Amino acid sequence: MSEEKIAVIGGTGDLGFGLAVRWSLAGAQIFIGSRDEKKAQDAAERVKETANAGGSSRTQDLRVSGCENSQAAAQASIVVMAVPFPAQAAILKSIRGSLKDAILVDTTVPLAGTIGGKPTRILGVWQGSAAEQARELTPPGTPVVSAFHNASAEVLQDLSITPDCDILVCGDDEPAKKTLFSLVKLIPGLRPIDAGPLEMARIVESMTALLISVNRRYKVHHSGIRLTGLPAEARSG
Amino acid sequence: MSEEKIAVIGGTGDLGFGLAVRWSLAGAQIFIGSRDEKKAQDAAERVKETANAGGSSRTQDLRVSGCENSQAAAQASIVVMAVPFPAQAAILKSIRGSLKDAILVDTTVPLAGTIGGKPTRILGVWQGSAAEQARELTPPGTPVVSAFHNASAEVLQDLSITPDCDILVCGDDEPAKKTLFSLVKLIPGLRPIDAGPLEMARIVESMTALLISVNRRYKVHHSGIRLTGLPAEARSG
């Protein structure tokens, strides 16, 4: 069982919910965060229901609770930002006082679709990427890692499907990245890949728009990415 | 045998050379272009030698010649731009009068490394991408397609290796894209993927920088990309 305490800020949304379901099944303790405590608590119940319906034998072990965002962040060693881009900055400001020794994991993609534009386009972010904006809004001692942009929220929520996707991890803090690697590996089918420093999130974030374009062209819902040509230790995840 | 007539502008460079080797083995007629006709002719000889050394039984069939860039372009139905980013605009201007009913295939990646910066960074191109710059510099009737950014030049040149990589194709002209799909399929191991309109080249070009970052992290030379979750007809290439 994983001993990690993970806050999923925006855990009521599709990606956050899917991650919460998968990590709770792996034994991690999950704090679903929402601006609205009641919504967070409802989502926590639904996470348990979804995980149980997925045929887990660990029903009793699931440790999922819901709280207001800053309360969720305060209890966690890993804080995952899984909110729409237009909400990212305000929510980060609201929780940054509650980040203690946590790692901040940013999953935000600045899709033009989040402000009414095309879902296959990316907004320009002055800092270079949503992840670098997150770093700017996070206390200096808090490591920021960027990941999970290209994971299908739909697949994560559907326990009848095993994901088939690499998770490209960007960040400047190597121990924090290692911790994140172990979190990725808690979810069968996902493989963590070290994509380099946080600034590479500019590229990884944009790849979500590319996958949306491919989904539309091929009339599928969850295209993903696998890297080839890596050494065996990366291949085995 | 392919009946295509393909000009590879910059066919003396690694990517162009590798594509010329592979396509010549598939039976296409290749015109290696260079600013220097002699260099182009030398490269054409080396393409034949490399293809022959690769154990082909088709030695007699190889149709590869070298010419000055605009001469190469004038003879081809498909003109592949495989030059470093800093040379792209000037060379396009020099050949655009020679493009008849050809499709222009741009492979250019605006890597910062090409002007002395980091190889893991991308230069901002005013038009959005190198491919869109190519479109601006191409006669109105010439379809522009963007492809081959993420193929390893090293792998293409080494006939003992079968590539393991998807080719993300961007463009606004559907028939031209279809033609390019058939060109991609001439090379075993490569699978063409329709990534959407030409503007998506902004993302696909940048993915080369990401792969360079991954190569450095994992101490490999030719990481590539495969998409997952596509329907069977795409899977079979």
pLDDT at B237 over 60: no
pLDDT tens-digit series, residues B86-142: 999 999 999 999 998 999 999 999 999 999 999 999 999 999 999 999 999 999 999
Collapse the DSSP code of B126 into the 3-class scheme (helix H, G, I; strand E, B; otherwise coil) and give the result: coil
pLDDT at A233 over 80: no
pLDDT tens-digit series, residues A4-24: 899 999 999 999 999 999 999
Residue of A nearest to B196 (CA): A213
Contacts of A193 in chain B (CB under 8 A): 214
Residue of B nearest to A189 (CA): B228
Confidence of residue B3 (pLDDT cuts 50, 70, 90): confident
- Nearest by CB to A195, from B165, B200, B213: name it: B213
Closest CA–CA distance from residue B16 to any residue of chain A (Å): 21
pLDDT at A104 over 80: yes
Mutate to test the interface with B, among A125, A174, A218, A235 (most CBs of B within 10 A): A218
Give the pair of three-digit tokens for residue A158: 């559907």
pLDDT at B45: 97
- Nearest by CB to B200, from A203, A213, A223: name it: A213
B126 part of contact set with chain A, CB < 8 Å: no
Lowest mean pLDDT among A48-62, A66-80, A165-179: A48-62
- Nearest by CB to B194, from A211, A217, A234: name it: A217
**Cβ within 8 Å, pair A227-B227:** no
- Nearest by CB to A203, from B197, B200, B206: name it: B206
Label residues B160-178 b or e (16+ Cβ within 10 Å = b). eeebbbbbbbbbebeebbe
Give the pair of three-digit tokens for residue B14: 């690694």
Nearest CA-CA partner of A6 in A148, A196, A166: A148
Confidence of residue A54 (pLDDT cuts 50, 70, 90): confident
Closest CA–CA distance from residue B153 to any residue of chain A (Å): 13
A164 part of contact set with chain B, CB < 8 Å: yes
ipTM score of complex: 0.92
pLDDT at A129: 98
Contacts of B174 in chain A (CB under 8 A): none
Answer yes or no: are the C-beta atoms of B98 and B79 closer than 8 Å. Answer: no
DSSP at B102: P
Backbone angles phi, psi at A204, to 5 degrees: -65, -40
Closest CA–CA distance from residue B125 to any residue of chain A (Å): 14
Q: What is the pLDDT averaged over residues A43-62?
A: 81
- Nearest by CB to B227, from A194, A196, A224: name it: A224
Q: What is the pTM of this model?
A: 0.94
Tell the residue number behind the tokens 């990884």, with chain if given.
Answer: A204
Backbone angles phi, psi at A104, to 5 degrees: -95, 125
pLDDT tens-digit series, residues B208-233: 999 999 999 999 989 999 999 999 87
pLDDT at A58 over 60: no
pLDDT at A236 over 80: no
pLDDT at B213: 97
pLDDT at A89 over 60: yes
A150 part of contact set with chain B, CB < 8 Å: no
Q: What is the pLDDT averaged over residues A95-124?
A: 96
Q: What is the pLDDT averaged over residues A107-136?
A: 97
Share of chain A above pLDDT 90, in %: 90
pLDDT at B224: 95
Give the pair of three-digit tokens for residue A146: 């960027």
**Cβ within 8 Å, pair B217-A225:** no
pLDDT at A49 over 70: yes
pLDDT at B7: 98
Helix (H) and strand (E) counts in chain B: 9, 9
Q: What is the pLDDT averaged over residues A193-215?
A: 98
How far is it, in rounded angstroms, from Cα B186 to Cα B188? 6
pLDDT at A157: 95
pLDDT at A201: 98
Give the pair of three-digit tokens for residue B56: 């082909």
Helices (H), B65-188: 69-74, 85-95, 130-136, 153-157, 174-185
Closest CA–CA distance from residue B43 to any residue of chain A (Å): 28
**Cβ within 8 Å, pair A165-B122:** no
Taking all residues of chain B, what is their mean pLDDT, rounded to a whole number?
94
Share of chain B above pLDDT 70, in %: 95
